[in-house]
């Protein structure tokens, strides 16, 4: 039985907080490590160690907060409550990290990274888990998370536009661009979360709260569907994260682009992602989610390898290729989250427990491991390979090229192989939903007195 279709306005409001969340997440991986190493004087090893330590430590926080969310009882929604809680944490930590001045040490970076990633854990987990309960339908979930992905990409595009815009306003320092990104997050976070809370419903939970403990998490990790999603999410996240962390080093020192031109290329990469989200949502309906993702992974690997063929300093071919790489990049984040929502139904049928928060806590952990690998492993490896951020040594540049192109392509191929055999097909999920409805355990379609009536004739991102 198909779930009620949410209107485009409802899903746009749901996706709005992605603007500041993505506006924070991108600089944390792409700009902030370089800023603390090149502008504030910390060593590559110190920066890499701080980011890796915090992300690995933060992984332990996700299972805790996911279990707390599953046990939360609040009349206006458990996930909406936690989204509100995250707002002051994110704003304070962003201010301290992005407005830092020369003289700060590794302890300062480490401490505020702990705070910002705690806030990121709460906000990201609450929003993604909220999306899982907006519809029980297999195809509608692809549409919900396509909006989520589009919101993330738009947030990245807006943040990337800041470094290109500021020089025309008289601000040419790298630090000014980093500070502008920080203010972007601080201003938009409370505004967009407020709109989402006002306009988007969340259903009352219909299942009894169950204990959250290590045994419950281990039981989830023994499920083949969960393991495949977690493995694929790590691989599809680590590759682009490595690309992002090394992006400016590669295009400036290997391909001979100025910082402004490289920023434009990164912007085109995310524009490709914005164009790709509705495409992969459409293909997910025609092919199934896992087959569409396998196709996207193979395409991403092939296009990434083609980056080596970009002529030195040639903007047009570089721009075209970066846009094309962005198209398959969009598939992994939202399709895997839509697939995890389906797994939540399977878990509820088998156990009688609603483990939505726990499942997305596990998924959030793989994202963090991938980001930790991107900075915590790639930066020290660059140093071992002889790469100098201020030099042009041929051996170091060769190592940079191998890490920037070869490793992400390999990870994408493995991810495609993993999801190709995903067992929770559309037919299997339809049977799970039928059994849940027969048992009276199916999640209700959420309603809210503040939302306008849903219309099946509203414009849609993807059908």
Per residue in 412-439, pLDDT tens? 999 999 999 899 999 999 999 899 888 8
C-alpha span between 437 and 231 (Å, rounded): 30
What tokens appear for 322 in the block? 């970066």
Percent of the chain scored above 70 by pLDDT? 87
Determine which of 251-255, 339-343, 364-368 has the lowest per-residue pLDDT on average.
364-368
Residues 276/408, Cβ–Cβ less than 8 Å: no
In the block, tokens 């920023």 appear at 263
Residue 461 has pLDDT above 50, yes or no: no
Q: What is the mean pLDDT of residues 237-243?
A: 85
Q: What is the mean pLDDT of residues 173-199?
A: 89
Q: Is 417 exposed, middle or buried (0-12, 13-18, 19+ CB in 10 A)?
A: middle
The more confident residue out of 446 and 78 is: 78
Query: In this predicted model, what pLDDT tens digit does every residue of 22-39 receive, in sequence order?
Result: 889 878 877 888 788 878
Determine which of 155-159, 192-196, 213-217 has the lowest per-residue pLDDT on average.
213-217
Architecture of the domain defined by 8-204+213-439: Up-down Bundle (1.20)
pLDDT given for residue 304 in this prediction: 92
Determine which of 4-8, 19-23, 88-92, 190-194 has the lowest per-residue pLDDT on average.
4-8
pLDDT given for residue 67 in this prediction: 82
CB atoms within 10 A of CB 103: 8
Residue 445 has pLDDT above 50, yes or no: no
Query: In this predicted model, what pLDDT tens digit does every residue of 120-143 receive, in sequence order?
Result: 989 999 999 999 888 888 888 989
Q: What is the mean pLDDT of residues 236-253?
A: 85
Residue 305 has pLDDT above 90, yes or no: yes
The contacts of residue 69 (CB under 8 Å, 6+ apart) are 78, 79, 82, 125, 126, 129, 356, 357
pLDDT given for residue 122 in this prediction: 93
Q: pLDDT tier at 240 (50, 70, 90 boundaries)?
A: confident
Q: pLDDT tier at 452 (50, 70, 90 boundaries)?
A: very low
Residue 453 has pLDDT above 50, yes or no: no
Q: What is the mean pLDDT of residues 36-47?
A: 82
The more confident residue out of 242 and 168 is: 242
Please state the pTM of the whole predicted model.
Answer: 0.78
Choose among 91, 79, 312: nearest CA to 188.
91
Q: pLDDT tier at 390 (50, 70, 90 boundaries)?
A: low
C-alpha span between 270 and 228 (Å, rounded): 26
Q: pLDDT tier at 145 (50, 70, 90 boundaries)?
A: very high
C-alpha span between 5 and 1 (Å, rounded): 12
pLDDT given for residue 441 in this prediction: 52
Choose among 71, 33, 460, 415: nearest CA to 282.
460
Residues 145/335, Cβ–Cβ less than 8 Å: yes
Q: pLDDT tier at 365 (50, 70, 90 boundaries)?
A: confident
């Amino acid at each position: 039985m198909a779930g009620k279709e949410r209107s485009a306005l409802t899903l746009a409001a749901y996706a709005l907080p992605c603007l500041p969340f993505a506006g924070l997440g991108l600089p944390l991986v792409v700009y902030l490590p370089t800023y603390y190493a090149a502008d504030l004087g910390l060593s590559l090893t110190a920066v890499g160690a701080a980011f890796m330590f915090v992300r690995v430590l933060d992984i332990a926080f996700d299972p805790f907060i996911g279990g707390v969310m599953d046990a939360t009882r609040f009349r206006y929604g458990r996930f909406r409550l936690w989204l509100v809680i995250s707002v002051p944490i994110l704003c304070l930590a962003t201010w301290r990290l992005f407005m830092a001045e020369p003289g700060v040490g590794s302890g300062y970076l480490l401490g505020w990274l702990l705070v910002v990633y705690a806030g990121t854990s709460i906000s990201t987990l609450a929003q993604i888990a909220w999306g899982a309960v907006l519809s029980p339908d297999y195809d509608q979930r692809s549409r919900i998370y396509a909006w989520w992905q589009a919101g993330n990409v738009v947030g990245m595009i807006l943040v990337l536009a800041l470094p290109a815009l500021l020089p025309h306003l008289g601000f040419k320092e790298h630090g000014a661009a980093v500070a502008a990104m920080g203010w972007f997050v601080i201003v938009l976070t409370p505004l967009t979360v407020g709109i989402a809370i006002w306009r988007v419903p969340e259903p009352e939970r219909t299942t009894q709260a169950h204990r959250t403990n290590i045994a419950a998490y281990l039981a989830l990790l023994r499920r083949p569907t969960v393991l495949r999603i977690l493995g694929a999410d790590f691989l599809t996240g680590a590759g682009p994260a490595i690309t992002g962390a090394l992006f400016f080093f590669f295009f400036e020192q290997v391909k001979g682009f100025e910082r402004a031109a490289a920023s434009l290329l990164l912007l085109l990469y995310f524009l490709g992602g914005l164009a790709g989200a509705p495409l992969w949502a459409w293909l997910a309906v025609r092919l199934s989610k896992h087959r569409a993702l396998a196709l996207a992974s193979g395409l991403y690997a092939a296009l990434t390898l083609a980056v080596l063929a970009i002529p030195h300093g040639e903007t047009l071919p570089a721009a075209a290729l970066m846009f094309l790489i962005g198209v398959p990049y969009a598939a992994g984040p939202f399709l895997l989250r839509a697939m995890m929502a389906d797994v939540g139904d399977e878990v509820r049928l088998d156990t009688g427990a609603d483990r939505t928060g726990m499942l997305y806590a596990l998924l959030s952990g793989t994202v963090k491991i991938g980001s930790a690998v991107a900075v915590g492993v790639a930066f020290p490896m660059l140093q071992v390979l002889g790469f100098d951020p201020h030099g042009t040594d041929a051996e170091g540049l060769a190592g940079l090229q191998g890490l920037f192109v070869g490793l992400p392509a390999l990870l994408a191929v493995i991810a495609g192989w993993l999801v190709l055999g995903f067992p929770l097909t559309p037919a299997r999920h339809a049977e799970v939903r039928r059994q849940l409805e027969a048992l009276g355990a199916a999640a209700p379609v959420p309603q809210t007195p503040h939302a306008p009536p849903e219309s099946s004739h509203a414009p849609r991102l993807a059908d």
